[in-house]
Amino acid sequence: MEEDFEDLFQRLDDIRKLLSLSLQVEQRGEVHEVHDVVDRAEQKIDLLHEKMDRLIVKGKEAKAGPETPSPAASTHADKLLGEVRGRFVEKASLPLIKQLLDGLQEEHVLNSEEAEAVMEEQAARADRARCLIDMVRKKGPRASQKMITLLRERDPTLGTTLGLD
pLDDT at 57: 76
Do both 94 and 47 map to the same domain? no
What is the rounded (10 degree) CA torsion for 19, 24, 26, 31? 170
Do both 124 and 104 map to the same domain? yes
pLDDT digits (tens, 9 = 90+) for 6-65: 989 999 999 999 999 888 888 888 888 888 888 889 888 888 888 888 887 777 666 655
pLDDT at 67: 47
pLDDT at 68: 46
Do both 83 and 64 map to the same domain? no
Quick check: helix, strand or coil at residue 68?
Answer: coil
Q: Which of 68, 101, 116 is the last residue of a domain?
A: 68
- Which residues touch 72 (CB under 8 Å, ≥6 apart)? none
pLDDT at 70: 46
pLDDT digits (tens, 9 = 90+) for 115-160: 999 999 888 999 999 999 999 999 989 999 999 999 999 999 999 9
Cα–Cα dist 38/52, whole Å: 21
Q: How far is CA 133 from CA 41, 43, 146, in A?
A: 25, 21, 12
Do both 39 and 15 map to the same domain? yes
Q: How far is CA 79 from CA 47, 61, 63, 162, in A?
A: 17, 24, 28, 13
Do both 82 and 131 map to the same domain? yes
| CATH number of the domain encompassing residue 132 | 1.10.533.10
Tell which phi-psi region holds residue 110, choosing left (phi > 0), alpha (psi between -120 and 50) or beta.
Answer: beta
Domain count, the chain: 2
Q: Are 159 and 165 in contact (CB under 8 A)?
A: yes
Question: Which structural domain, as residue segments, surrounds residue 96?
Answer: 71-161
The pTM assigned to this predicted structure is 0.56
Do both 64 and 75 map to the same domain? no
pLDDT at 123: 87
pLDDT digits (tens, 9 = 90+) for 55-112: 877 776 666 554 444 444 455 887 888 899 999 999 999 999 999 999 999 999 999 9
Q: Which of 28, 11, 151 is nearest to 81 (CA)?
A: 151
